[in-house]
Chain A
Amino acid sequence: MAAPNSAERKACWDARDELWKCLDQNQDRASACQQLQSQFEGRCPAQWVKYFTKRRDFLKYKERMETDGFSPAEGPRQPS
């Protein structure tokens, strides 16, 4: 399978940006962005879809760390 050329890359990135914008505006409710989601999947190779989805999670996580800081998971409560 040939790698996407520059026009195909751009189409994929634009679809990704539109989907991400929609998800940002709708508090990540996937149901609100169904159409953009399928457009994104149609314009990007399946591997890229997986990669970008993980990448968004990572970027969100990074943003949360930067704004809210790290909150440690609750460990077992120690009986006092």
Chain B
Amino acid sequence: MLTARCIVGDLHRGGRTLGLLSGRQQAGLLRPPSLPHLGCGRQMASVGSPVKLRTRMGVTALVGAGLFACWWWVDSEKQQELQRKRVSQLKRVALGQGDFSLVDHQGQRRTKEDFLGGWVLLYFGFTHCPDICPDELDKLSAVVAALDRDASLPPVQPLFITVDPERDDVPALARYVKDFHPRLIGLTGTSEEVKRAGRDYRVYASAGPKDEDGDYIVDHSILIYLISPDGLFLDYYNRMKNQDQITQSVRNHLQNYAKL
């Protein structure tokens, strides 16, 4: 609506200006001597009153600036509209569409809905993981702690979802998460529930062969996901990203996020 009105206003004003100019030119052509100050060109300006010319130039500049401002406003509205459309299209295909339902390390049932409206940093792993998971969880904890120190930022919830529900039950997770950020929540469930949560974020996980003690290593995707308040995937961080790079990136997302 506003856009349309502005364009109409534009045309209207533009049209009037053109009409005025051509009228003056005609008058000048027909009766040059009687209207010296209304003519065009430098000669006339030097002969006629400089105040009038200045006024005309001022009016022209004002009208020009008005037209430009209007064009700029219409254009930025259009760009924003395009941006909004693009974002909503991307949201429909974004990762994390599903609605996981898992049990946390205190035995409480948690669904994705519980985390909607807040920011989440999510990592998939397993407690028997030799080096990568603890490294990444340390990094994730440090990032959350760094963001916590900035009071102007909304809180970020760290989440750990196991890819090894067979061994990672509630007590195992409770033992594990206390080594990391105090707000870290560990999530587990039946193998079906865990698989579904992983599928929502396209996580790959495959348990290796068991040795004589029944011990095994689970090969899995090792990405840290940033989940926006609408529960969808927004960004990810791999092993190459250090703590400071991740903190900076998450901070940018928190500051620039626009709720649709």
Residues in chain A within 8 A of chain B (CB atoms): 1-6, 9, 13, 44-48, 50-52, 55
Instruction: Check: B202 CB closer than 8 A to any chain A CB.
Output: no
Whether A2 and B211, one on each chain, are in contact in the complex, defined by CB atoms closer than 8 angstroms, is no
A47 to B214, CA, bound (A): 10
Chain A residue nearest to B173 in the complex (CB): A3
B213 pairs with A1, CB closer than 8 A:
yes
Q: Which of B99-130 contact A (CB under 8 A)?
A: 127-128, 130
Besides A47-B217, A52-B131, 18 other A-B contacts (C-beta < 8 A): A1-B215, A2-B175, A3-B172, A3-B176, A5-B179, A6-B179, A44-B130, A45-B128, A45-B215, A46-B211, A46-B215, A47-B130, A47-B211, A47-B215, A47-B216, A48-B130, A51-B217, A52-B130
Q: Are B134 and A9 in contact (CB-based, < 8 A)?
A: yes
Consensus secondary structure, chain A interface? helix
Instruction: Decide if B167 is an interface residue (CB 8 Å cutoff).
Output: yes
The answer for the CA separation of A48 and B131 in the assembled complex, in Å, is: 9
Pick the contact of B214 from A1, A4, A6, A48 — CB < 8 Å?
A1
Q: Is the contact region of chain B dominated by helix, strand, or loop, or is it mixed?
A: loop
| Chain B residue contacts of A44, Cβ below 8 A | 130
Would you give 6 A-B contacts (Cβ < 8 Å), ordered by A? A3-B175, A5-B179, A9-B134, A45-B213, A47-B130, A47-B213
The CA of A2 and the CA of B172, in the complex, are separated in Å by 7
Known: A47-B217, A51-B217. A3 touches B167 (CB 8 A): yes
CA distance A4 to B179 in the complex (A): 11
